[in-house]
Amino acid sequence: MQDNWLFIGIAVVIAAMLPMLPIAAARILSPHRPNRLKNETYECGMETVGDTWVQFKVQYYVYALVFLIFDVEMIFLFPWAVAYDNLPLLGVIAGLVFIFLLLDGLAYAWRKGALEWS
Amino acid sequence: MSFFEDPIKFLAGLLQDLLVSLNLHPIAITVINNIVGALIVSSVGLVIVIFLIWLERKLAARFQDRFGPNRAGPFGILQSFGDLSKLVLKEDVVPDAADKIPYNIAPILSIAAVVLVWAVVPFSVEWIGTDLNVGVLYIAAVGSFGILSVLMAGWASNNKYALLGAFRAVAQLISYEVPLIFALLIPVLLARSMGVNQIVGAQDIWYIFVVPVAFGIFFIASLAEIGRTPFDLLEAESEIVAGYHTEYSGMKFGMFMAGEFLHSLTLAVVTAALFLGGWRGPYVEQLPLLGPLYLFLKAGFVYFLIVWIRSSLPRIRIDHMLDITWKFLTPLSVVLLMAIALTDALLKEFGQINNTALYVGAMIAVNVVIALLALFAASRLNSRQRRQIKTFEPRPLAVPPKPAAPAAASTSEEASA
Amino acid sequence: MFLTLLPEITLVVLAFVVLTTDLALDRQSRAFLPYLTAAGMLLAVIFTIVFALPGDKPQLIFGGMLRHDWLTFVFRLVFLFGALATVLFSAGWERVARRGEYYVLIITSTLGMMLMGASADLVMLFLAIETTSIPLYILAGFITEDDKSTESGFKYLLFGAMTTAIMLYGFSMLYGFSGSTNLYWIAGALMSGELPFISMMGTVILVMAGFAFKVSMVPFHFWAPDVYEGSPTPIAGFLSTASKAAGFAVIIRVLLTAFPLEAFGGVDWTMMMAIAAALTMSVGNLIALAQTNIKRLLAYSSVAHAGYILMGIAAASELGGLSVVFYIIVYLVTNLAAFGVVAVAERTLGSNDLEAYDGLSRRSPALALVLLISLLSLAGVPPMGGFIAKVLVFAAAVEANMVWLAVVGILNAIVGLYYYLIVLKRVYLFRSEEEDKPVPIPRPSAVALTVCLIAILVFGTIIAPWFDYSGIAAGALF
């Protein structure tokens, strides 16, 4: 078991190295002649106006919040699905109630207009 | 054991013998073994991608009645190497306004997130990077690093188009993560295991034939996860230049491009493993070398579907994109999970769990019924929404001043005074 | 085993039903939601009495997570009654009456309190406290268009999050010292092990931080006046009664079972609690003298009452436990009545300043009468329930050789009487220009106020049965 995670740990290092290699190679091989115009922000030829990092549409937050709830609850369901053979029928139903409450939450968000883009 | 029976095992045995003969510490042997394994597994995908890019261009060209690349080498197969050398030699322009650290990490992360998934992909009966007992969870967890790279790239570029692309990307990726993971839960539930190889091993009948709707949900959601048409809003070239990687050039852009192709391939392979029986096929037990062949044939089929859809469908609008996942796929996947769990539990309760014909029949029946109900509900909802849309009234170009204007003007003057 | 949890299960189903009904109904017919909630809670009360009656021997259920005994039973009824009255007050309070989420949050919070009263395990306890607190944070800031309400919600959240973090740190130390999360096993581990006094006392202090916040014990009382002032008035009542009762339910169970006095050599937590009690009631009463807003006045008075209840805990005897349970029950009905009156009056008066209460007895004699009886009961005047409750805690303090604490308590009671009488003076003796405008009482509030009024008088006159029941409940701790 620890071997498994050792493998993952090594894979993380290698996975980070793999894309670094070509980028490093390009750094050595490619020309590097920056100038002010070249390094400007690219907006199809226009000069950029104002700050880029502005407030954005609040709806993104709402979707992110709904997602967060689902994401956390879904993780709880994985052990339930794996242990399915050892569960009595009551355990299955308890899990279903859990999912059902999740669905109710979705219905609530839907009805209250949290899922509308505009 | 000869080379042809199981070449990987044969070579691994050779390596083991070599290391033992060098009198190394056992821990060092384990570490070296792991390093070699991880290197092989990580580079498989990257090597395939080089040819995959050629294949996709060729396919896309055929769909559009063109030839596609046909100059470099036979059938233009060396085209990708030409592209690669061009990218290596191109100047890497970093905008002055960029936030340098995340700007440089993002392309690395975009490849690394996908490469890591390959660690748990089973290529054959015993050929697997590492057989994690939480493999599916690992795929879901590592896969979401990709979102991070997109957001980092978009934010760090300090470019409005890039930021818009990143916002869209994050909204899309997190929204489709929900049905994706629910659909992932279904094979886990059927196989009673989160290990990818156990799931493949449990597929005496491919899961696409047991739970076709789950496959459909997973496929659509993964299309959105990889940002392929019709879900390519994150880099919609007609609206926001190139989306989150507008400011990238040279090899860093190449990494994003390769990452996108690799992501598609990876999801095709994962789909093949989870729903199409993975490496399973005739004679694979006797000849493990057939395993990767079967796996990549199936993955190739899925990939072909992806390219086909890309060539056929237009891009969808952002509100439609969000509606599809939140109002259709998510409820559908939740209901499907509940129905399948209940069917399974009931069959077990009545002692029919080993009656394969009944089991598969019941599962398919449940799937078909739920799919029909979902489509019916969706069409009802759709027509209701359409009725609500009012007819479009063109606005006059010049608006005549309203009679009530003087009073309003005077108050505004007072306010300004 | 499931029958013993039936009241909790009822509440979960009720929360679900209310939420779904809220989605299905239009604005007009949502006025029926509070009655649906009240009916469901009444059902939970019936289930508690009929199905979830504890046996002679207390039992640990759900893997030692919960303890089913008479204390659990009594506190369940206390919380359900508090929630029921709050829902009825809310039904007449227009700004929240038709908001389905509001009732769902009250139900969820009540569920958490019921689990708090029953939990016998640190993990369960923490979960229950969070289930109680998080809905209360939202409820305190429920009126988003009112800056004061939002502010109170945020203040409550910040204080709550910080003290919860400290408490959790204490839990982790407790687990580290004893190797168990079960309160009853922790006690055994602490008794046998030779832990240094300093680490035992440190753990008590850390754990108490979280509980002290819930009961607004000095020095964790700063949030109370601001939060009560800003939050919707029915919720202020809920916070000062049911939520506080839940805090005390946890304090007596944790202190008396997990930190047995025998485990400390010589100096133990009773001295600490006695000092905290004296400080809490003095600070609460003295600051209450200067208040001009009735909600803030009641907030400081509720801080003071936490001090009186802590006296019973400091006694750490059977009489102490009994007095705590009795005091909580009486305080619950009394303070609910007081806040109920404020909620009803606020609708017409449009203000919570004491000046607005001038001449209330002429505008609504019934409302003034309820206020009179509840404030006199808070002050501890016979024949109201508050008198008996105070006598019991003082007796417990004297029995535990803390005469000085009883003296401080009596002095404080006198101070308290003064500011309660100031309010009553305005209500009965002052005149105002708007005396011809009556203050209407919505029917659901009237029902709740009547029940509370009767309860106050009954607790003060027919003492014996309640005394016995409190004794049985407190007996579950020893």
Going by C-alpha positions, the residue among C294, C384, C300, C416 that lies closest to residue C344 is C294
pLDDT band of residue C88 (cuts 50, 70, 90) is very high
Model confidence at B410: pLDDT above 70: no
User: Greater confidence, C183 or A40?
Assistant: C183
How far lies B267's CA from each of B168, B234, B263, B314, B330, in Å? 21, 18, 6, 21, 19
pLDDT band of residue B290 (cuts 50, 70, 90) is confident
Dihedral angle computed from the Cα positions of residues B269, B274, B275 and B281, in that order, rounded to the nearest 10 degrees: 80
Residue A24 lies in a domain: yes
pLDDT band of residue C145 (cuts 50, 70, 90) is confident
Residue A117 lies in a domain: no
Model confidence at B411: pLDDT above 50: no
pLDDT score at C251:
92
Segment among A11-20, B3-12, B341-350 with least mean pLDDT? B3-12
Dihedral angle computed from the Cα positions of residues B115, B118, B120 and B121, in that order, rounded to the nearest 10 degrees: 160
Q: At how many degrees (to 10) do helices B26-63 and B100-117 cross?
A: 90
| B319 in Cβ contact with A117 (< 8 Å) | yes
| 3-state SS assignment for residue C382 | coil
Give the rounded distance of the alpha carbon of A9 from its chain centre: 21
pLDDT score at C112:
94
Q: At how many degrees (to 10) do helices C244-253 and C70-91 cross?
A: 170
Average pLDDT over residues A93-118: 83
Residue A116 lies in a domain: no
pLDDT score at B234:
67
| A67 in Cβ contact with B174 (< 8 Å) | yes
Q: In this structure, which amino acid lies at residue C264?
A: F
Going by C-alpha positions, the residue among C377, C213, C205, C217 that lies closest to residue C281 is C217
As a whole number of angstroms, the distance between CA C392 and CA C396 comes to 6
Q: Which residues of B254-283 are buried (b: 16+ CB within 10 A; e: fewer)?
A: bbbbbbbbbbbbbbbbbbbbbbbbbbbeee
pLDDT score at B401:
65
Provide the percentage of residues in chain C whose pLDDT is more than 90: 48
- Average pLDDT over chain C reads 89
As a whole number of angstroms, the distance between CA A33 and CA B196 comes to 49
Going by C-alpha positions, the residue among C306, C287, C288 that lies closest to residue C297 is C288
As a whole number of angstroms, the distance between CA B24 and CA B41 comes to 24
Residue A95 lies in a domain: yes
User: Measured between beta carbons, which residues in chain A are less than 8 angstroms from residue B242?
Assistant: none
Count of alpha carbons within 13 Å of C226, Cβ hemisphere only? 17
Beta pairing, strands C66-68 & C59-61: antiparallel
As a whole number of angstroms, the distance between CA C37 and CA C58 comes to 31
Model confidence at B399: pLDDT above 70: no
- Average pLDDT over chain B reads 81
- The CA distance from A114 to the nearest CA of chain B, in Å, is 10
- Does B137 lie at the interface with A, CB-CB under 8 angstroms? yes
Average pLDDT over residues C179-184: 86
pLDDT band of residue B414 (cuts 50, 70, 90) is very low
pLDDT score at C415:
92
- Highest mean pLDDT: which of B242-251, B376-385, B407-416, C410-419? C410-419
Asked if B touches C (at least 3 Cβ pairs < 8 angstroms), the answer reads no
Model confidence at B30: pLDDT above 80: no
What would the pLDDT profile of C402-451 be if each residue is shown by its tens digit? Answer: 899 999 999 999 999 999 999 999 899 888 888 888 888 888 999 999 99
Average pLDDT over residues C105-118: 93
pLDDT score at B157:
81
Residue B206 phi/psi, 5° resolution? -55, 140
What would the pLDDT profile of C351-401 be if each residue is shown by its tens digit? Answer: 888 888 888 888 888 999 999 999 999 998 888 888 999 999 999 999 988
pLDDT band of residue B67 (cuts 50, 70, 90) is confident
Going by C-alpha positions, the residue among B151, A77, B374, A101 that lies closest to residue C15 is A101
Model confidence at B413: pLDDT above 60: no
Average pLDDT over residues C46-75: 86
Instruction: Using CA coordinates, name the residue in chain C closest to A104.
Output: C20
Residue C267 phi/psi, 5° resolution? -75, 130
pLDDT score at B389:
65
Model confidence at C263: pLDDT above 90: no
Provide the percentage of residues in chain B whose pLDDT is more than 90: 1
As a whole number of angstroms, the distance between CA C19 and CA C25 comes to 10
> What's the token pair of residue C89?
């007050």
What would the pLDDT profile of B309-339 be if each residue is shown by its tens digit? Answer: 888 888 888 888 888 888 888 889 989 988 9
User: CA geometry: angle at C175 spanning C172 and C177, to 5°?
Assistant: 110
Average pLDDT over residues C271-296: 91
| A19 in Cβ contact with B87 (< 8 Å) | no
Enter the ipTM. 0.86
> What's the token pair of residue B390?
């009012």
pLDDT score at B65:
86
Average pLDDT over residues B13-36: 77
Tell if the CB–CB gap between C16 and A108 is shorter than 8 Å.
no
User: CA geometry: angle at B284 spanning B279 and B286, to 5°?
Assistant: 155
Provide the percentage of residues in chain C whose pLDDT is more than 70: 99
- The CA distance from A20 to the nearest CA of chain C, in Å, is 42
> What's the token pair of residue A87?
């569960």
| A42 in Cβ contact with B247 (< 8 Å) | yes
Radius of gyration for chain A, computed over Cα atoms and rounded to the nearest angstrom: 25
Strand partners, C102: none
pLDDT score at B390:
61
User: Measured between beta carbons, which residues in chain C are less than 8 angstroms from residue A111?
Assistant: 23
For an interface test with B, the pick among A1, A2, A3, A8 (most B C-beta atoms closer than 10 Å) comes out as A8
User: Measured between beta carbons, which residues in chain C are less than 8 angstroms from residue A108?
Assistant: 19, 23
- Does A104 lie at the interface with C, CB-CB under 8 angstroms? yes
Given a contact as 3+ CB pairs under 8 Å, which chains touch A?
B, C
**Ordered DSSP codes for C43-95:** HHHHHHHHT----SS-EEETTTTEEESHHHHHHHHHHHHHHHHHHHHHHT-HH
| C111 in Cβ contact with C129 (< 8 Å) | no
What would the pLDDT profile of C29-60 be if each residue is shown by its tens digit? Answer: 888 889 999 999 999 999 999 888 887 788 88
- Highest mean pLDDT: which of B6-20, B34-48, B278-292, C175-189? C175-189
Q: Which of B30, B250, B334 sits opposite A103 (nearest CB)?
A: B334
A to B CB pairs, distance under 8 Å: 224
As a whole number of angstroms, the distance between CA C165 and CA C171 comes to 10
Residue B310: CB partners within 8 Å, gap ≥ 6? B60, B228, B229
Domain containing A7 — which CATH number?
1.20.58.1610
- Does B53 lie at the interface with A, CB-CB under 8 angstroms? no
| A62 in Cβ contact with B312 (< 8 Å) | no
Tell if the CB–CB gap between A108 and C19 is shorter than 8 Å.
yes
> Structural domain tally of chain A?
1
As a whole number of angstroms, the distance between CA C133 and CA B394 comes to 53
> What's the token pair of residue C179?
């190797």
As a whole number of angstroms, the distance between CA B298 and CA B353 comes to 28
pLDDT score at B402:
64
How far lies B9's CA from each of A7, A10, B22, B128, in Å? 17, 20, 20, 11
**In the block, which residue shows the tokens 């139903």?**
A93
Model confidence at A1: pLDDT above 60: no
User: Measured between beta carbons, which residues in chain A are less than 8 angstroms from residue C23?
Assistant: 107-108, 111
Residue A118 lies in a domain: no
Which domain range does residue A18 map to?
A: 2-111
| C432 in Cβ contact with C358 (< 8 Å) | yes
- Does B229 lie at the interface with A, CB-CB under 8 angstroms? no
User: Measured between beta carbons, which residues in chain B are less than 8 angstroms from residue A8?
Assistant: 116, 119, 130, 132, 138
Model confidence at B211: pLDDT above 70: yes
**In the block, which residue shows the tokens 């909790």?**
C8
- The CA distance from B292 to the nearest CA of chain A, in Å, is 20
Tell if the CB–CB gap between B327 and A110 is shorter than 8 Å.
yes
Instruction: Using CA coordinates, name the residue in chain A closest to C100.
Output: A108
Contacts of the segment C285-288: beta carbons below 8 A, 24+ positions apart: C285/C412, C285/C415, C285/C416, C285/C419, C286/C415, C288/C416, C288/C419
| C303 in Cβ contact with C216 (< 8 Å) | yes
As a whole number of angstroms, the distance between CA A97 and CA A111 comes to 21
Q: Is the dihedral of CA B69, B72, B76, B79 positive or negative?
A: negative
Model confidence at A2: pLDDT above 70: no
pLDDT score at B416:
44
